[in-house]
């Protein structure tokens, strides 16, 4: 996994956690949902890069 892509994926996860927390604290369901979506986006990006790495090794 390239370092840049790994950082990008992790940044999406962290950004999502923050949005979810702020949305929960302010009772903003839309922001909370957006945060959860960002977290999923980051996890999917990370998983995709791991799959690419597996195929590069073979």
pLDDT at 58 over 70: no
Binned at pLDDT 50, 70 and 90, residue 36 comes out as very high
Query: Which range of residues forms the domain containing residue 40?
Result: 3-57
DSSP helix, strand, coil percent of the chain (3-state; round to 5):
90, 0, 10
Tally of domains in the chain: 1
Burial (Cβ within 10 Å: 0-12, 13-18, ≥19) of residue 19 = buried
pLDDT at 1 over 60: no
Q: Which residue has the higher pLDDT, 29 or 55?
A: 29
């Amino acid at each position: 996994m390239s370092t840049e892509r790994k950082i990008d994926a992790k940044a999406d996860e962290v950004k999502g956690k923050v949005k979810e927390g702020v949305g929960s604290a302010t009772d903003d369901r839309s922001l909370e949902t957006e945060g959860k979506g960002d977290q999923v986006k980051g996890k999917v990006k990370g998983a995709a890069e791991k799959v690419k790495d597996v195929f590069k090794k073979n």
